[in-house]
Amino acid sequence: MRLKKPFMYWLEYSFWNVVDLVFPPTCPGCQTIGERWCENCQKAVTQMPAQVCQVCGEPSPKTLCKRCDVSRSAVVHIRSWAVFKQPVRSALHTLKYRHNIGLGQVLAESLAPGLNEFNWPIQAIVPIPLSEERQRERGYNQVSLIARPLAQLSHMDYLPRGLRRARHTRSQVGLTLEERKQNLKNAFLADPKLVAGKNILVIDDVCTTGATLTEAACALSEAGARSIYAYTVARAISHKDA
């Protein structure tokens, strides 16, 4: 289904085209000059398998994985567009660490068709926020660069202040599931004035264990959000699941 693109989206799209003419981008996957993310690299993306847990989105031959069969989170559904491997890994790395901010719109266009097919009753999109410390270091939130154009393409409200970090947390890299849960416990606060009574879609770049999305959903639920869904660009899965 071809999505109708609103005026503000086209305005930003035109802006980035002008920027690309003045400062030619480099494809993060194959280093082709003049391409923000070339067609060949986009075609090389490994899509998530069809069989996933209907709650957490982890590859599973059953409707519910073992973890979700035992306990449920505040998230109704978690889904991801692609597997976290090349060339998606390089694309997200350059967006996150090398200021390739124009790539956010390209990734949003990739995510939009799948989100439309889910047919979730979503009213607003909220990005996973950075801590104030990390936001100052980086200068921007890479998730917001994806979430905003995705909201435009999906004709939904965009609520960048719907969720905030209550405290700075250590990096999740290398932590076990339980360590991730403890690291993120009470890490988010949601604004009831913005999210109460609404069906919210939380956007993040990568899902590994779902701990970040689950904790964010808890904060949104406590603030009165009706239902919470989550969608990420990529999911890190083990070799045995792939």
234 has pLDDT over 90: yes
Domains of the chain: 45-235 (3.40.50.2020)
227 sits in which H/E element: strand 227-235
Nearest to 72 by CA among 90, 58, 55, 85: 55
pLDDT at 10 (0 to 100): 86
17 band by pLDDT with thresholds 50, 70 and 90? confident
Mean pLDDT, all residues of the chain: 90
Q: Is 129 helix (H, G, I), strand (E, B) or coil?
A: coil
| 178: Cα separation from own chain's centroid | 22
Residue type, 28: P
pLDDT, one tens digit per residue, over 32-84 is: 999 999 999 999 999 999 999 999 999 999 999 988 988 878 999 999 999 99
The residue count for the chain: 242
Strand partners, 190: 163
DSSP state of 151: H
Which whole-number Å values give the CA distances from 218 to 53, 100, 184, 214, in the listed order? 20, 31, 11, 6
Q: How many CB atoms lie within 10 A of CB 77?
A: 18
- CA dist 106 to 80, 167, 241, Å? 16, 31, 28
More reliable by pLDDT, 37 or 187: 37
**Distance (Å, rounded) from C-alpha 151 to C-alpha 159?**
9
Burial of 26 (0-12, 13-18, 19+ CB in 10 A): middle
